[in-house]
Amino acid sequence: MHHWIFLGLLTVLPALGNRGAKIYTQHCASCHGDQGEGVADEYDEALVGKKSVESLAKYIHRTMPEDDEDAVIDEDARLVSEYIHSAFYSPEAQAKLKPVRRDFLRRTQHQHRRAITDIVQSFRGRAWMGEEHGLRGHYFNKEKMNNRKKALIKRVDPVIDIDFRQNHGVEGLNPDAHSAFWTGSILPPETGTYGFRMTSPNGVRFYLNEPDHGKSPFIDAWVSSGNQKRTVEGTSFLIAGHPVSVFIEFVCYKGKQSSLLIEWKPPHGTWETIPSRVLHTDGSPEAVLISTPFPPDDASLGYERGSSISEAWKEAVVNAAIEATEIIFDDIDELARTKPEQSDRPEKLKKFCADFSYRAFSRPLTAEQKKTYIEDVFAYADGDFDTAAKRSLMLTLTSPYFLYPSLNRDQNGQPDNYTTAAHIALTLWDSIPDKRLLEAASKGELSNDKQITDSIWSSVADARSKFKLKGFFHHWLNLSEKEDLDKDPNLFPGFDEHIISDLRTSLDLFVNDVVWSEESDYRRLFSEDRVYLNRRLADFYGAQAPEGNEFEPLPTPDKKRAGIFTHPFVLTAFSYHKQTSPIHRGVYLSRNVLGRFLKPPPNAIEFKDADFKPDLTMREKVTHLTKDENCMACHSIINPVGFSLENYDAIGRFRTHEKDKPINTVSEYLTPEDTTVKITGPSDLAKLAVESPGAHRAFLKHLFHHLIQQPINAYGYGQMDQLHGIFTNSNFHIRKIIVAMVEETVPIKE
């Protein structure tokens, strides 16, 4: 009996599929094309999307076909929905029709720079940054510091901003003749060009990234002129998460003034005292920092990747290799563990170059590679072994085996333990494997799932992972390109570059706190009701000020915050110069955070405030601007999201009225499942982000692209479902899903 029922189902199911196809051909194909590819002068966009079968059926029942909306309803609408969903509409169907392949990628410009830095650093050892913040100061009653055993005091200074006539706190200090020096490191929060400046009427030398301070100072103001206060500046390119040493010398002899202020200007920041949170009392070895400019990497898919090859890129690769080689040769004898007069120096240079290639290629050299990059180069040195070593380094740094990490395979072209080590380092650090990973690979200890998982977790704890994750959040929140956040000074007095810089730091500290807490809970990104504030921000936003001037998570006066949705930096970034922008806020949040699919507008309409009556609220203006039926196809999603944040002005301050009218934040929102929910404010947005699978998937997709730099469907159209299951089952643990993403993408033998 059951056998006949099963055979009957096999007969009926294709017939149902054929019926859906027939209905589609009869009523839909003339506008949408046989495979949903679109038809010119009818509906020229491809019929693809992310609606479920049920949601798509409701939409067809309600609106299709446009010339006879009752022609395809009820069961027919469901059959057509099932057919087009499986044939070409869904991402899974598209993946089958047009399989997504993994791209052959080179290192991005950031990966290129960091890899060179880490290769050289591997010969010196990586610094360990302890928990103590600030610089270690030593104070003397002698102006020449030639007897450092008799310091008046040794202490940790959180910042360098000292007036030796008033607030120095050094008992017994001779006001007419004293000196000091400070040691430690700076851990840069992002990659880019930093400005540094010293302000003092006295003699000061500032050594940056020169741990032996035997070379020329980075900034030299040792000779003062008439004890007059002056400011001296310098700039340096630094890499996020890579510490650089600091050594500062100060001297005063018979000066009426004695003070020192050390400041910096980080990328996207403004001049400020170097904050204690980036200063460490531990020293660090000299770092090779490459400042060669590279052309922008391809970002056409929404994330940066090394897919484009141009003459400008080739030139940058060569110039970076030249720059790196020149810097390396400043300390070649130290790095090669030799001395100019030693008879075995040529062999040690040769060994250094071989080790350098091994670390750059992230695997032992083959016999052919050893001949090309080492043996032949030194064989024809003709006694000039320095030149031979430079040529070897240049060959290595311009080699495809360094530039293209995916070439990391064994001699049979198959992935092995070294491939796994290189994959972990690239995805989590944007770099090359460290000593620990290479040793594990050499011993075959990256062969099974447990070994790989353990190595990934150890690598996640590295500081470089933290800074890569920080970059992800700037990308996910679409803040990387938000450079001009200035507002009208008449409407927003006091909102200046210092406030903007502090807000950026505030957001970074909040995200860091969420990700690296024990729970690492994605949901907390939307539920946190406190904002990281320092004294300046607290005063500006009318909140309780922290005891010191460091940032602390504090409640705002309104006590109506919902994590990133209501963080003042995010709200400011998606606002106009003079007023809020519900459209910008709505588009960003709908697309990036809630995971809604939005088509490009058929006719882009510029918002011109002058076109509206001055007594209209922003909601009234946007409602009028987007009332057209063609606009509302997307603005029925965008507007409710944007309107829900109208209680927050263009700089993120809470308000209840606009143009003397009560602000209305209530809207009806159509979910991807075609159900209507009421949104009354940011708490309802937070609920959507926490509970909606579409929001979870949007977060996972952006995170995957940032780490792996490949389309997620290139690993199978079921990969997202698998990752989403891991994410929900781990209580939305961000670090656990990062580990899973790296695990799932480890290259395996074919």
In sign, the C-alpha dihedral spanning 689, 694, 697, 699 is: negative
Q: Is the pLDDT assigned to residue 748 strictly greater than 90?
A: no
**Residue 583, C-beta contacts closer than 8 angstroms, at least 6 positions apart:** 607, 622, 626, 635, 638, 639, 642
Q: Which residue has the higher pLDDT, 599 or 730?
A: 730
What's the pLDDT band for 147 if we cut at 50, 70, 90? low
**Residue 341, C-beta contacts closer than 8 angstroms, at least 6 positions apart:** none
Poorest-pLDDT segment among 403-417, 432-446, 593-607, 669-683? 593-607
- Coil vs helix vs strand at 618: helix
**Residue 88, C-beta contacts closer than 8 angstroms, at least 6 positions apart:** 35, 36, 47, 48, 94, 97
What's the pLDDT band for 484 if we cut at 50, 70, 90? confident
Give pLDDT, residue 165.
Answer: 86
Give pLDDT, residue 149.
Answer: 65
Give pLDDT, residue 35.
Answer: 86
Poorest-pLDDT segment among 3-7, 105-109, 404-408? 3-7
Give pLDDT, residue 504.
Answer: 94
Mean pLDDT across the chain: 90
Give Cα separations from 343 to 361, 572, 664 (angstroms).
29, 65, 83
Give pLDDT, residue 420.
Answer: 97
CA 617 from chain center: how many Å?
36
Give Cα separations from 466 to 130, 459, 514, 518, 736 (angstroms).
16, 10, 12, 14, 14
Quick: pLDDT tens for 325-336. Answer: 999 999 999 999
Give pLDDT, residue 198.
Answer: 96
Give pLDDT, residue 144.
Answer: 60
- Could you tell me what percent of the chain has a pLDDT over 90? 66
Give pLDDT, residue 145.
Answer: 56
Q: Which residue has the higher pLDDT, 109 or 91?
A: 109
Mean pLDDT, rounded, for 267-291 = 93
The 3-state secondary structure of 630-698 reads HHHHHHHHHHHHHHCCCCECCCCCECCEECCEECCCCEEEECCCCCEEEECCHHHHHHHHHHCHHHHHH
Q: Is the pLDDT assigned to residue 647 strictly greater than 80?
A: yes
Give pLDDT, residue 547.
Answer: 85
Give pLDDT, residue 8.
Answer: 40
